[in-house]
A and B are shown apart, each in its own frame.
Chain A
């Protein structure tokens, strides 16, 4: 089983709609969690950290479920500029990060 699993999609989302996707991780000792955004042929950039209590940044909401070992990302009121691949990142310990293969989001006008 891979350390971090994501459904690559694509997730085709009408503009203005809400899209949500999960990422599961295998190591229960994982300590910290992140969502990175990667535009086509660009480098990944940090979107947001994921806290135990959940967190929100504008139209983006991230949740962590330790019992079921998954994190989620929800995007409300999708914009065309949200089209990208969203990478789930899990830190087991120290600086050992594991990346998922990403959820590809395509926002359709």
Chain B
């Protein structure tokens, strides 16, 4: 069975440019997460979806970040405009748990460098 798929794996952009990341979760996983991980830090939640509904987006910087999960499957995370401090790894994860926590399965991440 395929795992969580993310693209692109690497992205280098100049500041003020837009960037988008795509995630395809494991088939049948209703819950999808976007995390941000800086070097030497643990993942920090940006947004969590239950099917197509964003149930926790309190940590998402809404002035420049947006996300969507149309049809409750694939998801896209966008940053516009990007800032130098946005350089990080953006991890997508999925799980079967709703209301409780099952194991999180992470994708390999999208590594963003903003110049």
Q: Verify B106–A44 contact, CB threshold 8 A.
A: yes
Please count how many residues in chain A sit with their CB below 8 Å of the partner chain's CB atoms. 19
A22 at the B interface (CB under 8 A): no
Contact A95 to B97, CB < 8 A, known contacts A42-B108, A43-B107, A43-B109: yes
Q: Verify B44–A99 contact, CB threshold 8 A.
A: yes
Q: How far is the CB of B25 from chain A (nearest CB, A)?
A: 13
B75 at the A interface (CB under 8 A): no
A97 at the B interface (CB under 8 A): yes
Interface residues on B, range: 20 to 34
| Residues from chain B with Cβ under 8 Å of A87 in the complex | 42-43
Separation of A91 and B56 alpha carbons in the complex (Å): 14
Contact A101 to B106, CB < 8 A, known contacts A95-B98, A96-B45: no
Q: How far is the CB of A50 from chain B (nearest CB, A)?
A: 12
Instruction: Return the CB mask of B23-64 against A: 1 if under 8 Å, else 0.
Output: 000000001000000001111110010100001100000000
B85 at the A interface (CB under 8 A): no
| Residues from chain B with Cβ under 8 Å of A100 in the complex | 42
Separation of A94 and B108 alpha carbons in the complex (Å): 25
Besides A44-B106, A87-B43, 10 other A-B contacts (C-beta < 8 A): A32-B101, A36-B104, A94-B99, A94-B101, A95-B95, A95-B99, A95-B100, A96-B45, A97-B104, A102-B42
B82 at the A interface (CB under 8 A): no
A45 at the B interface (CB under 8 A): yes
Separation of A36 and B35 alpha carbons in the complex (Å): 15
A4 at the B interface (CB under 8 A): yes
Q: Verify B106–A43 contact, CB threshold 8 A.
A: yes
Separation of A43 and B105 alpha carbons in the complex (Å): 9
Q: How far is the CB of A30 from chain B (nearest CB, A)?
A: 11
Q: How far is the CB of A31 from chain B (nearest CB, A)?
A: 8
A46 at the B interface (CB under 8 A): yes
A-facing residues in B69-106 (Cβ within 8 Å): 91, 95, 97-101, 103-104, 106
